[in-house]
Amino acid sequence: MLLSAFGSLLQLLYLAMLVLAVVAFVFAATAREDAYRAADKKKKSFWLIILGIAVAVNLLIPMLFLQLAGVVASIVFMVDVRPALKAVSGGGGRRGGSSSDGPYGPYNGGR
């Protein structure tokens, strides 16, 4: 019973690694090429190759060491490269306006 629970946990871990690699690959593919240069990151083709290999390894070669290397590449992309690309592309999370803007316009402190 314990062995089957461990197997189920391992299958969930493999699925999570695959999902992370696929999501990172999609984000890398949808970003503009010039954003990579502007953010001073590696080329778009570099990240597509690395993350594509990570997806392929997760799907085709069930070797934990190779899958962990893909997870590291996916995490590096999601934590370092993607925020830099969003900042350069103008997708910094806010929809424009000042930090003091409320839902109906700017807040002026009751003046």
Note the pLDDT of residue 92.
Answer: 58
Q: How many helices (H) and strands (E) does the chain have?
A: 5, 2
Q: What is the pLDDT of residues 45-103, one digit of tens each?
A: 999 999 999 999 999 987 889 999 999 999 999 999 999 999 888 765 555 555 556 66
Residue 43 in contact with residue 36, Cβ under 8 Å? yes
**pTM across the whole model:** 0.75
Q: What is the pLDDT of residues 38-59, one digit of tens each?
A: 988 999 999 999 999 999 999 9
Q: How many angstroms separate the CA atoms of 28 and 36, rounded?
A: 10
